[in-house]
Amino acid sequence: MLPAPRYDAPVHDLVILYLFDIDGTLLRARGSGARAFDAVIAAQHGIAEACRGMRFGGKTDPALLDEVLIARRGRAATAIEREAFLSAYVPRLEVELMQRGLDVLPGATEALCFLAELSDVRIGVATGNVRAGAELKLQRARLEGWFAFGGYGCDSPQRAELVARAIERGRGDCRVRDVVVVGDTVHDIAAARACGAIACAVATGSEGAQDLDGADVVWASLYELPAWHAARFCAGRPPAALPGSTDP
């Protein structure tokens, strides 16, 4: 069994909040989200292959729905349409995940294990998935136990606003030393900047390292996170060895 995150630091201590994107950062869902979007939009709006040619990375579920309907119908979704879509989307996503599976990306489990051992670190998510969809993906990847809070696409269609919501939830009664946003797209970087957070990009999603150079650091994989954390926050002390890690 994987260890649970440690949130036992005294409330007067400074804490570091780590906020992880999900798709392309922690896992790859093998197209399950796009297939679920297509199926529900076809059923509710009669539009076949509505998501063809769309880029999902870094966008929120509500914003993606609006993007589809604006492109295909010339207007954004109404509140009633959005509610109906999400009510059908999450069960369909569960079916797709069961049928297609997913992949945990290199270094994700090891990086989370490293951070969970640090009493001055709190780990959350900042994802464009609605909360129920995020929980499904994390459960299928067996990563759900690492995260005690988050910001989600159901908090706001704007990524910076959901990151701000995650920070608010993660702060609790502690003083925050730094916020670290970890993601795989320029949208994650922009949201981090808008919230005054450190932007860490990982080139395991749809965008290459050259597209992510606006981040404070760009990693080839999450295997690089512990050494970066030690150099940034631990006065050069080396991190503990990562089980199963390899040189990036």
pLDDT band of residue 124 (cuts 50, 70, 90) is very high
The token pair that represents 174 in the structure block: 């502690």
Mean pLDDT score, 12-40: 92
Q: Are 142 and 108 in contact (CB under 8 A)?
A: no
Q: What is the pLDDT of residues 30-54, one digit of tens each?
A: 999 999 999 999 999 998 888 887 8
Identity of the residue numbered 96: E
| 241 pLDDT above the threshold of 70 | no
Q: What confidence score (pLDDT) does residue 235 get?
A: 64
Q: Is the entire prediction scored with pTM above 0.75?
A: yes
pLDDT band of residue 172 (cuts 50, 70, 90) is confident
Q: In what order do the strands lie in the sheet with 149-151?
A: 149-151, 121-126, 14-20, 175-183, 198-202, 217-219
What is the spatial distance between Cα 152 and Cα 90, in angstroms, rounded to a whole number?
14
Q: What are the residue ranges of helices labelled H in the chain? A: 32-45, 61-73, 79-100, 108-116, 131-140, 159-171, 186-194, 225-233
The token pair that represents 69 in the structure block: 């309907």
